[in-house]
Structure 1
Amino acid sequence: MKLIIGNKNYSSWSLRGWLACKQSGLSFEELTVNIGGEEWETVKRQSGEIMPAGKVPILWDGETVIWDSLAIMEYLGDKVGRDRYWPKDDAARGMARSMVAEMHSSFLSLRRTCPMNMRSRHDGLQLPDECKVDIVRILQLWAEARARFGQGGPFLFGTFGAADIFFAPVVSRFVTYRIGVPGFAEAYMQAVWEHEWMQSWVSAAEDEQWVLEQYEVAPAT
């Protein structure tokens, strides 16, 4: 298998796809492309067969092409078994799937106000009300998952799984923009941040030479 991803410092969806591949336990080749600047448009024009949607991440498995992070995770779950990603308990699995779907389709204000940037730290960002609503909703989801189903470990549903994969970029955003969170959320964020795969990604992001200036300054609000 081959996984095409964007800049590790900036590409949140690439992080999700990469973590999904790591969670599968299957071997895969990792190909990183710079999603910023003029060369990105050239790459998309010249690689239609490799990147049919013009976006990352993209997983190639033989003749099979999957170009969305959630689709990548579901495809891999079909290959290795859903229990590697989802809780076995029906109620827990139902909540985990709902949380992943909500993360996949929502929280636009947070995404726009606080773009992922692993290397940077920003203090005193004035968040718009819509972004604060997103943050409160995320913390509510984390709190419910931890209270109801988190007894088996430090992650949302105890052990590391699909929900943690999809909220990992949120953890990075909260770290970058120093978002204040309650103690239970700090403990959860620490568990995600210190996970060996996350640390591997963070180290690679810090070593990247690519710089996208639009993400290097905290956006005005």
Structure 2
Amino acid sequence: MKLIIGNKNYSSWSLRAWLACKQSGLGFEELTVPILGEDWEHLKRNSEELAPSSGKVPVLWDGEAVVWDSLAIIEYLADKVGRDRFWPKEEPARAMARSMVAEMHSSYLPLRRSCPMNVRARVTRKPLSVEVREDVVRILTLWAEARARFGKGGPFLFGTFCAADVIYAPVVSRFLTYGIPMPGFAHSYMEAMWDHEWMRQWVAAAEAEDWVIEQYEIPVSE
């Protein structure tokens, strides 16, 4: 398999697809393309590897199969290696995990826009807007319920690492970057995520990158 991803410091959707590939246990080659760099528009128009996704990352190639969109990649890999590797085994937990993943995939636009992912940065910000605070409260409410109901078997949202943690990993990064205050249970969960071997690998690679995207280096005004 080959996974096409964007800059590790900035590309939240790439992080999700990369973690999904690691979770699958399958070997894969990764190719990083410098999104929004000088040659980005040319690369999007002329790269055969990016053509199926109209120049968006991530893209997973598996022989003749090609999958884009991080959630589609999770589902493709779950079909390939067994769904229990990605989703909680018990139906109530699996139902909540699926709902949380779908909500993250389609929601929280104020948080995404106001707090773009920047793994390397630690930013002192003005107070969050009402809309961003609402997103944060909603996410923390879901985290709290998942941990209280299904998190007894380990430090992650549903105990053991699963698709929900894959999808919310960039949120953990955003909360750390922008110094958003967290209650104790959320702080513990974020520590577990940041200390995960795969997250340490991603962060180290992000810190080693020399690409800079200026629009993501300057905090967006509230």
**Fold in common (TM above 0.5):** yes
Q: Tell me the residue number matched to 2:36.
A: 36
Equivalent in the alignment of 1:65: 66
CA distance in 2 between counterparts of 1:48 and 1:61 reads 14
Aligned to 1:155: 156
- Is contact 1:51-1:58 (8 Å) kept? no
CA-to-partner distance for each residue in 1:60-111, whole Å, 9 max, x for gaps?
0000000110000100000100000000000000000000000000000000
Does structure 1 conserve the Cα–Cα contact (< 8 Å) formed by 2:125 and 2:219?
Answer: no
Amino acid at match of 1:220: S
CA distance in 1, matches of 2:48, 2:107: 28
The separation in 1 between residues aligned to 2:42 and 2:183, in whole angstroms, is 45
- Cα distance in 1 for partners of 2:220, 2:194 equals 24
Counterpart AA for 2:23 = Q
Please report how far the alpha carbon of residue 125 of structure 1 lies from its aligned counterpart in structure 2 after TM superposition. Answer: 2.9
Kindly provide the amino acid, as one letter, of the partner of residue 170 in structure 2. P
Aligned residue in 2 for 1:14: 14
The alignment's C-alpha RMSD in Å is 0.8
1:51 positional shift: 3.2
Deviation at 1:127, TM superposition (A): 1.2
Note the C-alpha offset of 1:123.
1.4
Q: What is the aligned partner in structure 2 of residue 170 from structure 1? A: 171
Q: Quote the offset at 1:49 in angstroms.
A: 5.0
Instruction: Report the alpha carbon displacement of residue 163 of structure 1 after superposing the two structures with TM.
Output: 0.3
Contact (CA 8 Å) 1:192, 1:198: kept in 2 or not? Answer: yes
Deviations 1:176-220 (A, max 9, x none): 000001000000000001100000000000000100000111111
Instruction: Summarize the alignment of residues 171-210 of structure 1 with structure 2, pairs less than 5 Å apart.
Output: 171-210=172-211
> Which shifted more, 35-44 or 56-65?
35-44
What letter is aligned with 1:204? A
Q: In structure 2, what residue type is equivalent to 1:20?
A: A
TM-score normalised by structure 2 residue count: 0.98
Cα deviations by residue, 1:121-162 (Å, 9 ceiling, x for unpaired): 011332111000000000000000000000000000000000
Question: How far did residue 37 of structure 1 move?
Answer: 2.7
Q: Which runs of 4+ in 1 moved over 6 A?
A: none
- Secondary structure in structure 1 of the residue aligned to 2:30: strand
| Structure 1 residue matching 2:66: 3-state secondary structure | strand
For structure 2, the 5+ residue unaligned runs are none
Q: 8 Å contact 2:144–2:185 — kept in the other structure?
A: yes
2:74 is equivalent to residue 88 of structure 1: no
Contact 1:122/1:178 (8 A) holds in 2: yes
AA in 2 matched with 1:61: D
Moved more, 121-130 or 25-34: 121-130
Alignment TM-score, normalising by the size of structure 1: 0.98
8 Å Cα contact 1:8-1:15 kept in structure 2:
yes
Q: How many residues align?
A: 221
Q: Distance in 2 between matches of 1:175 and 1:49?
A: 33
For 2:187 and 2:69, how far apart are their aligned partners in 1? 29
**Percentage of identical aligned residues:** 71
Amino acid at match of 1:8: K
Query: 1:52 Cα shift?
Result: 1.7
